[in-house]
Chains A and B, each alone.
Chain A
Amino acid sequence: MAHLVWGWLTAIDLFLIGSAGGAAIASGAAHILGKGEYDALAESGAYLAPILGLASLLTVMLDLGRLTVAPMNVIYVFSHLPVSMVSAGTVFRIFFIAVAALNAILWLFRKETLINYVVRIICGAVNVVLGFLVTIYPGVMLAFARGKPFWGSPFFPWVISVNAMLSGLVLAVFAIPIIGVFMPRLCPSLLEARRTVLIHRIPERAGLYMAILIVIDLAFTVAYLTSVAGTAQYTLLFTNFLLFSMFWGGFIGLGLIIPLIVYLLAKLRLGIPLSVWILLLYLCFILVAVGSVSGRYALLAAGQLI
């Protein structure tokens, strides 16, 4: 593989910030629309969003070419607002991480008071909006890169954004039992979820939304690939072995098709115990996350070659 200007670190950064936004959207939606039934998801998403957001900020800092030479130059990053998408994106990120952190604190020290509840609802709603912005801006930023026609499609930011929502949702669900085990006293709703039937209901419900998002993402991917089919970079997705495996095998196969098939089979049950399907769904959540990283790298790399 030739030297890439934006490589693995950028792909991981795009995955982390997208998943952070996706987790925030899942958390906000579960809290506002879930009628208290999905508080475990709302809580795990609320904790995950700032953690992933901060991790993405660290990754993007490490990816900067002049951090070791002129570290103080980062203060100029807001100089070109709102013209440069990097400037705009940095503002979105910072506001998002700040609100996500506040939301997580509110969840961590929550009291069953009306004020606390209302503030959490407001914070969750703001985080849904900011979460959406951080899921879509990387795609818009790449679409504005005029020198790379492979990214220059109006469908491209939506492929990235929907996939980010998908990876955020599955990571938030996946985190429920993990956080529930390691912080049971701090997170009563997660503990409760772990002990009760909710541990089944949440992944089942999340599985449905996962399937819907997979279908939407597949539709956007088909539209996107059709719109860039004339570019030289498009052929690389078929001719370059690494990109072929990462895009078709990792992103489409492992990350979208297999989880969708497993979910549809789980709906049919086929006489297999529910607990086995739940385990399979959790496995699918991992596949979605792996496919998400794989897809981002493949799309990022293919756009820069030739």
Chain B
Amino acid sequence: MGEKFSRRSFLKTVGTGFGLTTLFVTSGKTKNLTATTTKPKAMLIDIRKCIGCKACQIACKIWNKLPAEETRITAENEYVNPPRFSADTWCYVKFSEVREKEGIVKWRMASLRCMHCLEPACVSVCPTKALKKLPEGPVVYDPSRCIGCKYCVEACPWHVPHFDEEKKVISKCVFCVDRIKAGMVPACVANCQTGALQFGDRDEILEKAHSSGAPYIYGEKEAGGTSMIFVSDVPFKELGFPEVSSKPMETFKSDMLTSIASVGVIATIISFAGYFAAKFLRRKEEVAKTLKEEK
């Protein structure tokens, strides 16, 4: 136990040191990415290249000053630690065990964060406009307008926003908007050692995704398109990615509203038909009774 703990502490120290060094080195790089343009940005996440080192996870924690969480590794979540998004975890690496045909098992790792949808559900449902979609791509949050209704938490198809009950604030990945605006790449991309994470204009990223030779692409059309484009050699369903329809949020809402109204109209017609049928039958019975009495 003691040995395990010290090994973890050692790895944490090394990881943090490594992350900080990389961040400082890369923060000096000015790639002139977006300082002057407002072309929407995106990230390419190549699952085939990810080795699950979690450098992106650590870099996110460091850059955004997010505290560590006390978590447990269980049989259910295996190496995924922390196992899901939380107010203090904006980025994590999901490990998936994929079974191949001949009984061979292979690992696939996916670095996950807010999808920064082109038409975000969280922005659409927010009553106070505390959540905003910026032209550069990030979906950001303004606590000075939030009332804490938590509708965004329920609306996101990827369960990204979380409400921090202690700090009373919504918390989620902001796509390192400060770095992007300064012409730098997000902290997670800057720290990726294998090139599994790449950053650029959404058009270029999509082009890269299509020319990568990967048979499966996720994020291009889901929820009307997102800023996170995943490429993989295994179906995303096997990696536990949710199936989200390609309808943008506004289309989803108007379609739902039309269906609700249609159900209401049909139910009203049926109810009235039933009411008049019952009335007709009762009248018929009454007439028959009167006739019988007259006879």
B144 within 8 A of A: yes
Is the beta-carbon distance between A147 and B127 smaller than 8 angstroms? no
Residues of B within 8 A of A229 (CB): none
B68 interface residue, CB < 8 Å from A?
no
- Find out whether the CB atom of A73 lies under 8 angstroms from the CB atom of B155: no
The distance from the CB of A211 to the nearest CB of chain B, in whole angstroms, is 13
Residues on B with C-beta less than 8 A from A69 are: 148, 168-169
A86 adjacent to B125 (CB under 8 Å): yes
Chain A proximity of B196: nearest CB distance (Å): 26
Cβ contact within 8 Å between B260 and A147: no
- Please give the number of chain B residues whose Cβ is less than 8 angstroms from any Cβ of chain A in the complex: 42
| A145–B151 touching, CB < 8 Å | yes
Residue on B nearest A69 in the bound complex, by CB:
B168
A238 contacts the other chain (CB 8 A): no
**CB within 8 Å for A158 and B264 given contacts A66-B147, A86-B127, A145-B151:** yes
Sorting the interface of chain A by its residue count into under 10, 10 to 19, 20 to 34 or 35 or more gives: 35 or more
CA distance A83 to B262 in the complex (A): 20
Interface string of B144-156 (1 = CB under 8 A from A): 1111111101111
The residue of chain B having its C-beta at the shortest distance from the C-beta of A153 within the complex is B259
A196 to chain B, nearest CB (A): 27
| A141 partner residues in chain B, CB cutoff 8 A | 151
Binds B, one of A74-82, A92-100, A255-263, A268-276: A74-82
Chain A 119-158 interface residues, beta-carbon cutoff 8 Å to B: 140-148, 152, 154-155, 157-158
A76 cross-chain contacts in B, Cβ below 8 A? 127-130, 145, 147
Q: With A140-B260, A220-B267 as given contacts, are A67 and B147 in contact (CB-CB < 8 Å)? A: yes
Bound complex: CA A84 to CA B130 (Å): 12
A146 to chain B: closest residue by CB: B121
1/0 per residue, CB under 8 A from A, across B225-259: the answer is 00000000000000000001000010011001101
Task: List the B side residues contacting A142 at CB < 8 Å.
Answer: 154
- Docked CA distance A302–B156 (Å): 17
Contact at B158–A147, with CB atoms within 8 Å? yes
Is there a chain A Cβ closer than 8 Å to B81's Cβ?
no
Once the chains bind, are B259 and A6 in contact (CB under 8 Å)?
Answer: no
Residue of A67, A140, A146 touching B148 (CB-CB under 8 A): A67
B102 within 8 Å of A (CB atoms)? no
Counting from the closest, the 10 A-B pairs by CB-CB distance are A65-B148, A66-B148, A154-B259, A76-B128, A86-B127, A145-B154, A87-B127, A84-B127, A69-B168, A154-B260
Report A's interface with B, CB cutoff 8 A: 5-6, 64-70, 73-74, 76-80, 83-87, 90, 140-148, 152, 154-155, 157-158, 216, 220, 223, 304
Sampled A-B contacts (25; CB under 8 Å):
A5-B153, A5-B154, A66-B143, A66-B146, A67-B148, A69-B169, A73-B144, A73-B145, A76-B128, A76-B147, A77-B147, A80-B127, A80-B129, A84-B151, A140-B257, A142-B154, A143-B256, A143-B260, A144-B125, A145-B154, A146-B157, A147-B158, A152-B256, A154-B262, A304-B154
